[in-house]
Amino acid sequence: MKHKQKKSPVWKVIVFVFFVIVFAMVLVRLNRDREVRARVEKRSRELDIAAAQASAEYADAVDRSRKAGSDDYVEEIARESLGMVMPGETVFRTEEK
């Protein structure tokens, strides 16, 4: 009759500790990946906002560039920025408190 040898409890402890260490390493790695993904997503949102603002500014610049030099634009600037009026126009000013 063959006699079976029992595995020593030391091997069981070693195997258990090994799997606990591997599991802990996987958890740490997953946590780091989650943090990196969150930073990347936040930066992506910031860049989307900046791109939208730049696009709006570009459209405004293109519009002003297209208008620049036209008689209507020159008149608008003269009226709004310089307070000028056309000959024959009457200006009424009210006092604001």
Residues 34-85: tens digit of each pLDDT: 999 999 999 999 999 999 999 999 999 998 888 887 888 888 888 888 888 8
Q: Hey, where are the domains in the chain?
A: 9-80
Sign of CA dihedral 74, 76, 81, 85: positive
Contacts of 75 (CB under 8 A, 6+ apart): 86
pTM of the model: 0.50
pLDDT attached to residue 59: 95
The percentage of residues in the chain with a pLDDT greater than 70, rounded to a whole number, is: 92
Per DSSP, the three-state class of 91 is coil
